[in-house]
Amino acid sequence: MRSDLAIQTQALSKRYRLGSMRPMHRSLRESITEGLSRWRRTRATPTKASESEFWALRGVDIEIAQGQTLGVIGHNGAGKSTLLKILSRITDPTEGRVALRGRVGSLLEVGTGFHPELTGRENIFLNGAILGMTRAEVKSRFDEIVEFSGVEKFLETPVKRYSSGMYVRLAFAVAAHLEPEVLIVDEVLAVGDAAFQKKCLGRMRDVANHGRTVLFVSHNMAAVEALCDTAVHLDHGKVVQVGKPTDVIAGYLRGDESTRKTPLAERTDRKGTGVLRFTELTVQGPSTQHDIVRCGDEVKLQARYRCPHGPVKHALITMVIYTASGQCVTMLNNEMTGSDFETLPSEGVVQCRIPRLGLAPGGYTINVFCKVNHEIADWVQQAGEFTVEAGDFFGTGRLPPATHGGVLTPQEWRIAA
């Protein structure tokens, strides 16, 4: 490993075995019986073994210099989180090797690295010990951590009673302020509010400016482009492209075209329990042409769905609109508007009506998301796309230049007294 590198991976691969879970503790007889059964199955049907395996990563070679900020992008299931878990030493690779220089601080999932029964104060010192820091070192940064997290009132409360937002604020504060040589942050920052996300991005810039290395996984292309000096695109566990964030993001978005052309009902790159599945997404304006609308028009976003196990109660439906470059524009959500879907039939269509579309001309994509009983039922990124054409939004026949933002705002001007 070269002296200027913080992280180096060589032919890094991770394999998971699909199928039924086996008990952790088995007798010698059970182990022998299972081994013989597996051997017989392999001889009888040689293809079964490969069918039961899933390679989350395959032959990943990455070199990350000290002080570099690397953004990792890709679809759900591309292998991003698996890569971070290996680099964080949470799981071991199946093949290949990893070399890291210095202490690693990571924030991957809500709850990772915290003991739920311990208080916020105790978990700060626990995480410091895990990072190899002395009690005196943690104590010297303790006040900074608490101030950044904003949970000082709950320091003596077990973290199992924290909300997910409080958990993430404290976890990020610990990971970022205990001065690891490598800071790894997953999409978990999306749990926080806008002000906290801005605070975190600022802190990650500070970490990078002090010569430490940052790995940042996000679906927010604008954040990756603003924060990172290098990006890597993963797809099905393999590295597709490494380079400048603008180039890698452009390649990633071009590659999405084939995914978006796959019918929504057939998409496999989705998350969720499956108690509800979106099968079609359309955007309809006053014209008969689907997915082409004009700014200023009334627009209806319609998501057709199916519930395999029957009707569901209190479904939370969210649609998030992005520009063609991957920048988030707005979120549409039935709960925010007070529309409680007390019961959704086993199949049907949910509709979101926008009385007057305030988007500038251009191409847009939509992510769809559904929660049932506080669990993700279905989550598909870039589930649909639509085009906004020029319209008379202001009633003057004029629109702002394309370079001056993507949102049109109703406005009135006058000379104030």
The whole-number pLDDT of residue 281 equals 95
The whole-number pLDDT of residue 149 equals 86
214 forms bridges with which residues in the sheet? 69, 183
N-terminal to C-terminal alpha carbon distance within the chain: 70
- CA separation for the pair 289, 386 (Å, rounded): 11
Indicate the SS3 state at residue 415: coil
The pLDDT of residue 110 is above 80: no
The pLDDT of residue 414 is above 50: yes
Q: Which pair of structure tokens corresponds to residue 172? A: 């990020």
What secondary structure, in 3-state letters, does 236-265 show?
Answer: CCEEEEEECHHHHHHHHHHHHHHHHHCCHH
DSSP codes joined into one string, 367-403: EEEEEETTEEEEEEEEEEEEEEEP--SSSSS----TT
The whole-number pLDDT of residue 205 equals 81
Higher pLDDT, 302 or 130: 302
Q: Pairing mode, if any, of strands 182-185 and 104-107?
A: parallel
Over the stretch 133-168, which tens digit does the pLDDT of each residue have? 788 988 999 999 999 888 899 999 999 898 878 888
> What is the pTM (predicted TM-score) of this model?
0.62
The per-residue pLDDT of the chain, averaged, comes to: 84
The pLDDT of residue 67 is above 50: yes
Please compute Rg for the chain using Cα positions. Answer: 24
The whole-number pLDDT of residue 21 equals 45
The whole-number pLDDT of residue 307 equals 95
Q: Name the residue type at position 321.
A: I
- Domain architecture of the chain: domains with CATH: 5-19+51-254 (3.40.50.300), 264-389 (2.70.50.60)
Contacts of 248 (CB under 8 A, 6+ apart): 71, 73, 231, 232, 233, 241, 242
Task: Please report where in the chains the tokens 């796959």 appear, as a residue.
Answer: 262
pLDDT band at 287 (very low <50, low <70, confident <90, very high): confident
Contacts of 19 (CB under 8 A, 6+ apart): 52
Q: Which pair of structure tokens corresponds to residue 84? A: 């971070």
Higher pLDDT, 245 or 75: 245
Over residues 11-35, the mean pLDDT reads 67
Contacts of 23 (CB under 8 A, 6+ apart): none
- CA separation for the pair 333, 305 (Å, rounded): 16
